[in-house]
Chains A and B, each alone.
Chain A
Amino acid sequence: DTAVSQTPKYLVTQMGNDKSIKCEQNLGHDTMYWYKQDSKKFLKIMFSYNNKELIINETVPNRFSPKSPDKAHLNLHINSLELGDSAVYFCASSPRLRQNEQYFGPGTRLTVT
């Protein structure tokens, strides 16, 4: 059984479009995260939610908007896509807010042309 899953795995789109990435975890965890991994492999936190409450909101453009309909799901919507948004986006989850072990999803490779 997949613990943390993301869809789609690959996303190719043109500049200016709006797209969403979905994440689901079946681990019963309270906390979920979005990370961006750039071409140099650097992993940077973008957002986190704990029981549907926004906890971490790093300095990302407001074109990025996370949404958590319930604690098992955390989606990422991106408006007006730009070339620099091309990256791999990872979702992750951890059991509780301050229990730091994080388990990553398979990633979504976003390519903006």
Chain B
Amino acid sequence: GAGVSQTPSNKVTEKGKYVELRCDPISGHTALYWYRQSLGQGPEFLIYFQGTGAADDSGLPNDRFFAVRPEGSVSTLKIQRTERGDSAVYLCASSFLSFGDTQYFGPGTRLTVL
């Protein structure tokens, strides 16, 4: 079956611009996660959705970052006034349940801020 998909696969933007990154989870998965992976590091948690609501957004680095999941399926991560330090691979994962369930990861979106 289809896995987690993310679009675009690559995004190059200029400092100060706004970007949106999209995640399509596995059908039927209620939990959705966003992580950020910088070069040479492990993924770092950003935000977790259970259904339509953000159940844990403790990993968002500041108020320039925002994510939505209006219908409990597709999610969009939004970054305002991008900075060069935002350059990273943004990973999305989904799971059927949340607590302890296996998270299936998408291929990621590589964001480069010039």
A binds B: no
Could you list which residues of chain B lie within 8 angstroms of chain A, going by C-beta atoms?
Answer: none
Could you list which residues of chain A lie within 8 angstroms of chain B, going by C-beta atoms?
Answer: none
